[in-house]
Amino acid sequence: MKLTISGLTRSYKHKLAVDDVTAELTPGVYGLIGPNGAGKTTLMRMLADVLLPSKGQICMNGEDIRTLDDRYRDQIGYLPQDCGFYSHFTAERFLRYMASLKGIKKVEAEAQIGELLQLVNLSGERKQRIGRFSGGMKRRLGIAQALLGDPKLLILDEPTAGLDPKERVRFRNLLSDISGERIVILSTHIITDIEYIAKEVLVLRQGKLVKQAKPDLILKELEGKVWHVTVSSEKVDELERHYTVGNLLRRGTEIEARLISDQQPTADAALQSPRLEDIYLYYFGETGGDDR
Ligand SMILES: Nc1ncnc2c1ncn2[C@@H]1O[C@H](COP(=O)(O)OP(=O)(O)OP(=O)(O)O)[C@@H](O)[C@H]1O
């Protein structure tokens, strides 16, 4: 199974939200990252075939998705950023409803619903109204509905938004369990969500795909560029003028910072082992991670 994206472009009036994106995806987990407004949701909506591109093409196994039409949509599971739930529905009624929209036969749907509720750890809550669910439970139910029909392409827009750290760990494990032969594309602001499970990271900046690479390769690229410095507080402005500086840590009159620089920034700067979350500093000049 192969998804080929060629010159995919989408503008809203004068705003170019996705700009000439070309990529080839094969089974595995892809982490789509980028700051707010980078175009992640727009790209995912086009992949989910709920938004038409202004230009460009998406092909599945060499066939244009416009030609495949229903045959493409039948193979997709999509969790939108804002998954509108019917709050008076119970979890199982919601999944039954979504299964019928996907054209899954009743008996088959019942079997899948049971399995999926178990997978997302909501079996005990299957008869509870969604209105009483926490944000994390709703997100897990959203993941279950995306998995109905055993889709070959799973598109998850910020699936971990609103999950607490424990739920995020559970989600990571769930994703590595279900990835298998599927292509999974998930967008996130939180690098640790994809650190151990992403086959490749897709970096989107101002609508452009500026990087598609394995996490190891990205880390290699950052080697020799990440520094830890300690400066007096009055030198911080100067440091920020010259370098891309991450979170500052105040220690008395001194400030410690992690920064990106091709050369050693100060005489006592110490080289650091790059971490995947340094991607945010490197590509966007901002920090990413659990605190965002
Ligand atoms: N319906 C719309 N009409 C006009 N502009 C839009 C529309 N949807 C998105 N945009 C603009 O397109 C750009 C990309 O938005 P998009 O939501 O795809 O980014 P994103 O990376 O998903 O951001 P976030 O992380 O905040 O969800 C932004 O500048 C946004 O303001």
Q: What is the pLDDT of residues 240-286, one digit of tens each?
A: 889 989 888 988 889 999 999 999 999 999 999 999 889 888 988 86
Tell which atom from ligand 1 comes closest to the C-alpha of 35.
25
Rounded to the nearest integer, the mean pLDDT of the chain is: 91
Rounded to the nearest angstrom, the distance between the alpha carbon of 171 and the centre of ligand 1 is 25
ipTM: 0.97
The residue whose C-alpha atom lies closest to atom 25 belonging to ligand 1 is: 36
Q: Where are the domains of the chain?
A: 3-219, 224-272
The residue whose C-alpha atom lies closest to atom 28 belonging to ligand 1 is: 37
Distance CA 209, CA 23 (A): 9
Model confidence, pTM: 0.90
Instruction: Give residue 61's identity as a one-letter amino acid code.
Output: N
Q: What is the pLDDT of residues 42-81, one digit of tens each?
A: 999 999 999 999 999 999 999 999 999 999 999 999 999 8
State the greatest distance between any 2 C-alpha atoms of the chain, in Å, as a whole number.
70
What sign for the dihedral angle of Cα 218, 156, 2, 113?
positive
Distance CA 62, CA 173 (A): 32
The three state secondary structure string of the chain is CCEEEEEEEEEECCEEEEEEEEEEECCEEEEEECCCCCCHHHHHHHHCCCCCCCEEEEEECCEEHHHHCHHHHCCEEEECCCCCCCCCCEHHHHHHHHHHHCCCCHHHHHHHHHHHHHHCCCHHHCCCEHHHCCHHHHHHHHHHHHHCCCCCEEEEECCCCCCCHHHHHHHHHHHHHHHCCCEEEEECCCHHHCCCCCCEEEEEECCEEEEEECHHHHHHHHCCCEEEEEEEHHHHHHHHHHCEEEEEEEECCEEEEEEECCCCCCCCCEECCCCCCHHHHHHHCCCCCCCC
Cβ burial, residue 204 (10 Å; 0-12/13-18/19+): buried
CATH of span 3-219:
3.40.50.300
Rounded to the nearest angstrom, the distance between the alpha carbon of 18 and the centre of ligand 1 is 9
Rounded to the nearest angstrom, the distance between the alpha carbon of 40 and the centre of ligand 1 is 8
Q: Are strands 63-64 and 153-157 parallel, antiparallel or unpaired?
A: unpaired
Residues with CB under 6 A from ligand 1: 12, 15, 17, 34, 36-42
Tell which atom from ligand 1 comes closest to the C-alpha of 18.
14
Distance CA 160, CA 169 (A): 10
Mutate to test the pocket of ligand 1, among 13, 18, 36 (most ligand atoms within 8 A of CB): 36
Mutate to test the pocket of ligand 1, among 13, 36, 42, 45 (most ligand atoms within 8 A of CB): 42
CA distances from 236 to 59, 104, 242 (A): 49, 60, 10
Give, for all 292 residues of the chain, the pLDDT tens digit. 999 999 999 999 889 999 999 999 999 999 999 988 999 999 999 999 999 999 999 999 999 999 999 999 999 999 998 777 788 999 999 999 999 998 999 999 999 999 999 988 899 999 999 999 988 889 889 999 999 999 999 999 998 887 888 888 888 888 887 888 899 999 988 888 888 889 999 999 999 999 999 999 999 999 999 999 999 988 888 888 899 898 889 888 899 999 999 999 999 999 999 998 898 889 888 665 443 3
Rounded to the nearest angstrom, the distance between the alpha carbon of 37 and the centre of ligand 1 is 5
Tell which atom from ligand 1 comes closest to the C-alpha of 43.
18
